[in-house]
Amino acid sequence: MKIRMKLVFPLLVVVAAGLAMAHPPLFLWSVSLIVPLLGIAMFGMGMTLVPEDFKIVLKSPRIILAGLLAQYAVMAGLAWMLAKTFNLPPGLAAGVILVGTSPGGTSSNLMTYIARGDVALSVAMTACSTLAAPLATPFLTLMLAGQWLDVNVWGMLFSIIKIVIIPVALGMAFNRFSGRYSKKAVKYVPLISMTAIIIIVGAVVALNESKLLFVAGITVAVVVTHNLSGLVLGYLAGRLFGFSTRQCRTLSLEVGLQNSGLSTSLAKIHFAAMPEAMIPAAIFSIWHNISGALLAGYWSGKPVKTEEKNV
């Protein structure tokens, strides 16, 4: 039931985007809630984590490091190349790069489960890339987007700590110390997180409705290319390092699926003069859930040989 509900998620995101495009007032009220909503989603992510999830970091540091390198180097580098190749205007270029420099998205954990990948590894990689974000995201954004606009590195760093790290830490603490209340609440975390992302996408589309018709074509092309390239290169990186099929599938989904909610929030806070910087993240939120679900569904019908060993 849970899996079926989450597979409907991409459809609900598309519906929300369509409604926001057709009648922006339906979501304009929620523009000021973009940052708090992401904080709620991150708190929910923290509630699903326990210290044991990080044991794999000690057991398999090589694959975690490879995943972090692929996560940030591949996606950030691709974003910069696409922004230059398509000659994007400053706002859209900054938005694409913000998506590329963001950590992995939590939807990768579900997609990995469906794809018969390594779920424990997926959770550990998502958590590690999220913890690395306060340093990796601002400095990579400065390096790659600084040619288009001023990047407040320290402001972005503290923003990530406030809207990602602190909520995740509080969620983990709640899970650790609240006992039975946490077990009851965690059942509702996926629904709350999905609702938050749906509202965020609707808000971004509503805010940029007048601009979307003019930039949607080229932006969709960039976002789709970025995402599909990340999925392919993530898998190939796993093969290059000699990882198992399950681990390669996991790495593919971790690299290709980004935390677009974070890039939306950062664009709203730090690039407020160019609201179009939020558009790539909104489109990515829609597309990467569709592509991730399709790829995971394909892999779910391709069993992994039981004798294959993990790294």
Confidence of residue 277 (pLDDT cuts 50, 70, 90): confident
Asked whether 82 and 226 are in contact (CB, 8 A), the reply is yes
Q: Is 265 a member of any domain?
A: yes
Tokens 């998205």 appear where?
Answer: 105
Q: Is 307 a member of any domain?
A: no
> Average pLDDT over the chain, rounded to whole?
79
Residue 52 sits in which domain range? 2-300
Q: Is 152 a member of any domain?
A: yes
Question: How many of the other CB atoms lie within 10 Å of CB of 182?
Answer: 16
pLDDT value of position 307: 46
Tokens 């990579």 appear where?
Answer: 140
Which two three-digit tokens encode residue 223?
Answer: 């976002």
Q: How many domains does the chain have?
A: 1
Confidence (pTM): 0.77
pLDDT value of position 228: 94
pLDDT tens-place string over residues 152-206? 677 777 777 777 778 878 888 887 777 677 667 767 776 777 777 778 778 877 8
pLDDT tens-place string over residues 108-166? 776 777 777 887 788 788 888 888 888 888 888 888 877 666 666 777 777 777 777 78
Q: Is 190 a member of any domain?
A: yes
The DSSP element (H or E) to which 160 belongs, if any, is helix 153-160
CATH code of the domain in which 34 resides: 1.20.1530.20
Q: Is 76 a member of any domain?
A: yes
Q: Is 310 a member of any domain?
A: no
pLDDT tens-place string over residues 210-255? 766 666 678 888 989 999 999 999 999 888 888 888 889 989 998 8
> Helix crossing, 189-207 with 209-240: angle to 10°?
130
Q: Is 306 a member of any domain?
A: no
